[in-house]
Each structure stands twice: as C-alpha cells, then as structure tokens.
Amino acid sequence: MLNVAILGFGTVGSGVAEVLTMNKELLAKKVGQELNVKYILDTREFPGNPFESKIIHDFSVIENDPEVQLVAECIGGATIAYEFVKKCLQAGKHVATSNKELVAVKGYELLQIAKEKNVNFFFEASVGGGIPVLRPLSFDLAGNEITQVAGIMNGTTNYILTKMLGEGAAFADVLKDAQAKGYAEANPAADVEGLDACRKTCILSALSFGFHVYPDMVPTEGITKITEEDVAIAASANMKIKLLGRTMLTADGKVCAFVAPNFIPVSCPLAHVDDVFNAILVRGNAVNETMFYGPGAGKLPTASAVVGDLADAAWHLTARRDLDWADADESKMMNVRDLELPYIVRTNEPADKVMAALGEAEKLAADGYKLAKPMTLAQIEASGLQLTAVRPVFA
Amino acid sequence: MLNVAILGFGTVGSGVAEVLTMNKELLAKKVGQELNVKYILDTREFPGNPFESKIIHDFSVIENDPEVQLVAECIGGATIAYEFVKKCLQAGKHVATSNKELVAVKGYELLQIAKEKNVNFFFEASVGGGIPVLRPLSFDLAGNEITQVAGIMNGTTNYILTKMLGEGAAFADVLKDAQAKGYAEANPAADVEGLDACRKTCILSALSFGFHVYPDMVPTEGITKITEEDVAIAASANMKIKLLGRTMLTADGKVCAFVAPNFIPVSCPLAHVDDVFNAILVRGNAVNETMFYGPGAGKLPTASAVVGDLADAAWHLTARRDLDWADADESKMMNVRDLELPYIVRTNEPADKVMAALGEAEKLAADGYKLAKPMTLAQIEASGLQLTAVRPVFA
C-alpha cells in the first residue's frame, strides 16, 4: 500500500479523493498496490463529509510522516503551495500538482530538487486539465524535434468566443452569461486577459524546447479587444477566432512564445474546438501534426490527470522519470514582434494605401485585410498605417 | 549506446531508420544514451541507399547478437513477423512493432513471453499510426474506468467517406480516385471491408478492458454498402457518416466491440476528422471524454510512434512497463446485436408502418428514419420490416 496526502480540499483536491475512492480496486490492480488517502490538508473543517476523518490542519504531520510517499498538491498559487511542495520533495516524497502558476513560476527550481532527491514531480493537470498532453509530448513524441505547440487552453475564453462567433453577441454580454453559468469567475481577469493561457504556454514551451520560460517572457494579449468586426472578418475568411498559446522553434533555432487571439482556418482541427473544451496541437519533424482534445477543467477530469500522475509516480518510485529542463535563457528567445507570421490587419485606411504599405492583401469583411505574405509585427507597425488591430493567422 | 535492429526495410522500417538518424543527437539527449541502428533485416538489396551497409539477410545474426537490445519489427503480417518477434523476446530483446495484425492475433502470447523474459513489447504505432493513444490510454488515464473507446482508424475509408459526403460522389468513383492518389491499395479489401479497423479495435479493447479480443469476435462491416442515400440522410440529420471501431463496457459489465459505419452528430469532435486523418475518442468515468487526433499512417508519423516505443524501452530496460492483458474470454463479451443503441434505419415501408413496428421515429432524407429510443439490432430485425440498412448513431 502507498499512502497519499492531498493538499487542499477544494474542487480539484476533493475530485482527487473521489477518483481514488471510486476507482480504488481498478487502480490497485493497475498500479500493483493500493493508493490509500491518508491525509487531506485544509484550513477548513468538513463536518459530515465522507473524508472528514482524513482532514488535518498541520502540514508538518504530512512532511514528517515517512509513510506518505505520494502527495497531490491542489491548493493553487505559488506561495503556500510552493513552500509545501518544496518541503515534500525535500522530504523525499513524490508530488503531483494541478497548479499551473506554481509550475510556470517555480518549475525549474522544483524539478531540480526532485532530481536531487530522486523523486518525481509531475504536473499533467496543469495544462489541458484532464487531457493527456504533457506526458505524450515528453515521452510518446520523444522521437521528434518539436517545431510548434499551439493550444486552446482556457475554457472560459473559448466559451466566450464560441458564443460571440455563434450568436454574434458582444463580449460584455457573453461574459455576464458565462459568469451566471459558473464558466467565468467574478473577477475574470486571469482568464480574459490571457494570464492563465500564458502560464500553460510557459510549461509547454519548457517541455518542448528544454528550458524554462517565465510568464513575463511571453507577450500576452487576451480577448477583451475582440469585437463584432473580428467575428465578421473570421466568417468572411472561412476562419474561426480563438485564443491560442503558441510556442515555436524559429528558422534560426530560437524559441518564440506568445498568447494572442488567432484567426484559424476551418480546415485546422483547432477551429472545431468549441465551448469550454481545450485542445493542444503539437507539430514535430516526424509525426507532422497531432492534437489532444478534451475537458480543460472540471473536478473529475482534472483529478483524472492528477491520479494518472500519482500512478506514474507509483510505477517509478525509485527509477524516477526525467522531465528536467534547464533554467530560462533569454538569449535563446525571439520576441514575436520580430517573427514573420501570416497576419490579418484591421484598418480604416483606403485599400490602395494599405496595399502600398503592406503589399498584396485580400479584403475581408468589415475593416479586415489578409496579408498575402508573412511579415513581422515590427514591419507592420512601421508601415505608418492607422491600425485597429493586427492578429496572426494560425497556419 | 543501445543497438537497434530494424526488421523490414519497407515504408515503416525505412522511416524508423530515417527518424533515428535525423534526430540522433536529440534522442541521445532525451534517452540518456545513443540509439544506434546496427542491423536492418530485409530479403532485398538496397544498392546506393544510405543504410546499405546495415542491411543483412540472416535473422539469426540479430537473434544471436547480445549487443542488440532493441528491435523494431516493421515486416507486417503474422507469420514471419510472429516468428521473429517471438524469438527476439525469447532472446531477451525489447520489441516495438507497428504491426496491428500481429498484435490483434498474437498479442496475448507475445505479452506473456515479454513478461516472462522481463522485456517490453510495445505497439503504439499499431493503432492510429503516429498518434499517441495506447500509452495515454494505458498510463495517463489509469485513474479511469474506461467506458468506451471509438475511433476513426482507417485513413483510406475516411478519405473515401469524406469525398462521398463532401462531393456527393459514389463509392466506386472515389475508390478509383483514392487508388490513383496512393491512398488505397490495388486490393482495398482489408481497408474497405473494415478488417484493418477491426484489428485496431481488438487492440484498444484489450488495453481498455484487460482481456484479449480476437478479430473473429468483433462483428465487422466496412463501407462498401454506403450509398448516396446514406450521405443525404447524414446531411438531413446534421450528422456525418464515418467508419468507427468501437468497444464499450455495457451496463451489466460485459464488453461489446464492433466495427461499422456510424452516423455522428456534428457536435461530436469525431465528426470533424476528415480525409486520411485518424482520431480515437476515449471515455472514462473521471475524464469524461478526450480525443487523440493525427496522421493514422505514413512513413515518418508511423516511425515517430515506433521510435517513441524504442525510447520508452530504453528508459525501462530492466523495470519493464506492464501492459499485460488476460487471454480472450467469450463469456465476458456481448454481441452488438444484443446491445441497445440509438439507430438510424433505412426502409421503403410507409412511415406509419415503420413507427408501429419500431416506435417513434424522425423521418430523415431519402428512406431514413431516426429511432427515438435505443433498441437492439435483434429487436429491429424482429420487426418484420423490409430494411435497406440499419446503422448506429454515435451518441
């Protein structure tokens, strides 16, 4: 029997307890021994809850109990969670977390500690919720040089954009509806401004290219500036508009990571990922293109990923799995401003002036122009045109 | 350094050699040591080929060379490939194969030998080509009771159906076009009659539910009977028609596996998997639903999966990964004839007679009726109606 401690009994933590209980026998058979929930750490009491007897309030009990081999961190944030995860790893315990902020900000340091202590630090649930993507990217696709990863990784913004495109509704109205349905938080900034997608992009970038990328190294634009004109432009170009986190290898071997609304041709499978679903598309020099689709959040789906991590840790108690990456290196990065990409620009300038400044372009609906050739943002901005918006096309 | 022998230098085998060479340094870094192609077994000579010096014709050289730790089987079929794989496992070598026939027919026996010899027998490429799906299903989703797996797993038939639906073309014409483009073989029976999808369904079933399912235990219908009426019916129901291999857990704990053309609502992500692409949708009691999409065939994509297997074997040279399943057990299976499913039936009988016999139904285009309630095939056939076709709806 292996003992598990769950840190935090909120949505994800209670989901982990539920999955470990609901699928106890099946897991014991697959793992080769039982995974037993020994402690659940939370500041609150849970009278009447089936897990009431497991609740404790003192972290040091977990830290100092050598019988706890596996820890699921479901607190969130990078303060207390950071302190606890660090102490668990230092105490020789394997840790699985669903915490994207923690991994995006402290991943390098925590992986170094895990390596030193010969334990696993896993975080499959931190990107794409229940979707298996980090392990396939790191292990199944090990035979590939990864060339680009692009993901729809925030359910709230994807729900809002789906409604805007499907019903022609305005951003503010859809946001209210999403908040009423529980798909968006009262303070939706981390979602709609792109910060959540940014953290996930950092993690995908580190796993794809081998060095840490911190959130402040990833230019990030959310969806608050998307208007009905953008929706009309997308329809006229036979495209969808989606918030993508992208990280890619450039022609000169640098890495370019950014988060922005992208126009996506309907021939691309990402264009059909709607509502609160997530999908991550991976390109490699052998596999060409593959995509992982599913629920990017939710209690049991996220717990599915955390429990998968616990099982993998149980299979690799001594021979840990190597997910290491190096620390950040700004010299290996290219700012998206300097990368040639296909763009759609919005401007009220006359068409002949637009084409004189930016070359051949296809006039789309509203004030949209699809540029015929890839250009850099820097070049487009240097054109001197009055621009309403400049958005990349995912191609 | 680990030495690899490649059995068979056809499309997949030459792809494996190419990927191991193209990504040599990157692989050495990820795996921790170099993967060196020592031998390539083929009956043919390859004068002028960059791998000419590796070609040998005598299998026993590989079998008896203790320096060969890893073997990639890319011969195909279940005769010579079976004999060679068996001998390699018995000699203590890890084997990765892309051969679905071999795994569907001999998987149980070969896994038993691998277990006995404490080596890995991997076959990620045997289902979905380059798409990572078997490893995510077995390991990442270990926290789930799998309830259903449904896949578009044959690129030839998906290409034909995409053209039939998109262009309203007839089966025979599209088949000729597919043969001209190299997407269909001169003898297309294994694809269009569903045998290829059947073998893959066997493998997914075994990994999902823990016991071997042989091809003759899976009722299989291909796409040769799909007509323009089916295409019209699909359009009128806001659905697509796709060849699916499905395996599912029934309410009474049995397993039902079958291959048949299914109507799929456009709200399902499988409906948007077009042309030669493959996708496998997995449902589990924690993750709900996730889907894996990508190239189901092709030289480098298939090689990507084989090389991923070789890397995993290299990471688990001594602590093998347990992919075992039990032998087949007919008593645990339910015939699809006896499973209640939503159906669309085609019949020229008058509507009132159809509804009197089968209950409420929605009249679709051509001769189609969508039944309001799930029924068994046995019940539908016992209705006494003259039926042109009976096809399940994937819901």
CB contact under 8 Å between A294 and B290, yes or no, is: yes
Residues A305/A103, Cβ–Cβ less than 8 Å: no
B256 pLDDT exceeds 90? yes
Question: What is the DSSP-derived secondary structure letter of residue B243?
Answer: E
CB contact under 8 Å between A287 and B307, yes or no, is: no
Q: Is A281 helix (H, G, I), strand (E, B) or coil?
A: strand
Is A127 an 8 Å CB contact of chain B? no
Q: Determine the distance in angstroms separating the CA of B284 from the nearest CA of chain A, rounded to an integer.
A: 9
Q: What is the pLDDT of residues A196-235, one digit of tens each?
A: 999 999 999 999 999 999 999 999 999 999 999 999 999 9
Q: Which residues in chain B have Cβ-Cβ distances shorter than 8 Å to A15?
A: 286
Nearest residue to A120 (alpha-carbon basis) of A171, A70, A73: A70
In 10 A of CB A122, how many CB atoms? 26
Confidence class for position B185, pLDDT limits 50, 70, 90 = confident
C-alpha–C-alpha distance, residues A349 and A13, integer Å: 53
HEC-encoded secondary structure of A309-366:
HHHHHHHCCCCCCCCCCECCCHHHECCHHHCCECEEEEECCCHHHHHHHHCCEEECCC
Ramachandran sector of residue B366 (left: φ over 0; alpha: ψ -120 to 50; beta: rest): left
B19 pLDDT exceeds 90? yes
Residues B122/B96, Cβ–Cβ less than 8 Å: yes
User: What's the CATH architecture for A2-130+299-315?
Assistant: 3-Layer(aba) Sandwich (3.40)
Q: Give domain limits for chain B.
A: 2-130+299-315, 146-295, 340-392
C-alpha–C-alpha distance, residues B333 and B248, integer Å: 10
Residues B227/B266, Cβ–Cβ less than 8 Å: no
Percent of chain B with pLDDT over 90: 96
C-alpha–C-alpha distance, residues B204 and B138, integer Å: 10
**Residue A261: strand pairing partners:** A243
Q: Which of A262-266, A318-322, B57-61 has the lowest mean pLDDT?
A: A318-322
Q: What is the CATH number of domain A134-294?
A: 3.30.360.10
B212: which 2 tokens?
């071997």
Taking residues A31-55, report their average pLDDT.
97
Confidence class for position A185, pLDDT limits 50, 70, 90 = confident
C-alpha–C-alpha distance, residues A8 and A41, integer Å: 5
Taking residues A96-122, report their average pLDDT.
97
Taking residues A305-309, report their average pLDDT.
98
Confidence class for position A106, pLDDT limits 50, 70, 90 = very high
A60 pLDDT exceeds 90? yes
Residue of A32, A311, A321 with shortest CB distance to B143: A311
Say whether A134-294 and A2-130+299-315 share the same fold. Answer: no
| Closest chain A residue to the Cα of B273, Cα to Cα | A269
Q: What is the pLDDT of residues A138-179, one digit of tens each?
A: 999 999 999 999 999 999 999 999 999 998 889 999 999 999
**Residue B345: strand pairing partners:** B369, B390
Residues B212/B328, Cβ–Cβ less than 8 Å: yes
A11: which 2 tokens?
């949505």
Q: What is the pLDDT of residues A273-300, one digit of tens each?
A: 999 999 999 999 999 999 999 999 999 9
Predicted local distance difference test score (pLDDT) of residue B168: 86
Predicted local distance difference test score (pLDDT) of residue A69: 98
Q: Which residues in chain B have Cβ-Cβ distances shorter than 8 Å to A277?
A: 269
B372: which 2 tokens?
């309001």
Which fold is adopted by the domain B146-295? Answer: Dihydrodipicolinate Reductase; domain 2 (3.30.360)
Q: What is the pLDDT of residues B222-252, one digit of tens each?
A: 999 999 999 999 999 999 999 999 999 999 9
Determine which of B70, B141, B304, B321 to mutate to test the interface with A (most A C-beta atoms within 10 Å): B304
CB contact under 8 Å between B286 and A19, yes or no, is: yes
Chain length of chain B: 395
| Closest chain B residue to the Cα of A18, Cα to Cα | B286
Taking residues A294-321, report their average pLDDT.
95
Q: Determine the distance in angstroms separating the CA of A199 from the nearest CA of chain B, rounded to an integer.
A: 22
Percent of chain A with pLDDT over 70: 100
Q: How many CA atoms lie within 13 A of B121 on its CB side?
A: 30
In 10 A of CB B128, how many CB atoms? 29
C-alpha–C-alpha distance, residues A47 and A368, integer Å: 58
Predicted local distance difference test score (pLDDT) of residue A183: 85
Is A272 an 8 Å CB contact of chain B? yes
CB pairs under 8 A between A and B: 180
Taking residues A34-62, report their average pLDDT.
98
In 10 A of CB A113, how many CB atoms? 18
In 10 A of CB B386, how many CB atoms? 9
Is A290 an 8 Å CB contact of chain B? yes
Residue of B277, B286, B295 with shortest CB distance to A303: B286
Chain length of chain A: 395
Output Rg (C-alpha) for chain B, integer angstroms: 22
Confidence class for position A261, pLDDT limits 50, 70, 90 = very high
C-alpha–C-alpha distance, residues B69 and B66, integer Å: 7
| Closest chain B residue to the Cα of A323, Cα to Cα | B30
| Closest chain A residue to the Cα of B309, Cα to Cα | A140
Taking residues A54-71, report their average pLDDT.
98
Please state the pTM of the whole predicted model. Answer: 0.97
Confidence class for position B183, pLDDT limits 50, 70, 90 = confident
Confidence class for position A182, pLDDT limits 50, 70, 90 = confident
Predicted local distance difference test score (pLDDT) of residue B158: 97
Predicted local distance difference test score (pLDDT) of residue B136: 98
Q: Characterize the bridge pairing of strands A35-41 and A2-7.
A: parallel
Q: Which residues in chain A have Cβ-Cβ distances shorter than 8 Å to B321?
A: 315
CB contact under 8 Å between B287 and A293, yes or no, is: no
Residues 293-352 in B contacting A (C-alpha not used; CB under 8 Å) = 293-295, 298, 300-301, 303-308, 310-312, 315-316, 319, 321-322
Predicted local distance difference test score (pLDDT) of residue B208: 98
Residues A292/A124, Cβ–Cβ less than 8 Å: no
Nearest residue to B196 (alpha-carbon basis) of B183, B211, B215: B215
B324 pLDDT exceeds 90? no
Q: Which residues in chain B have Cβ-Cβ distances shorter than 8 Å to A292?
A: 290-293
Task: Quote ipTM for the complex.
Answer: 0.97
A133 pLDDT exceeds 90? yes
Predicted local distance difference test score (pLDDT) of residue B323: 79
In 10 A of CB A70, how many CB atoms? 26
* Residue linked to tokens 């823990």: B210
A10 pLDDT exceeds 90? yes
Is A25 an 8 Å CB contact of chain B? no
Taking residues B260-285, report their average pLDDT.
97
Residue of B273, B290, B295 with shortest CB distance to A130: B290
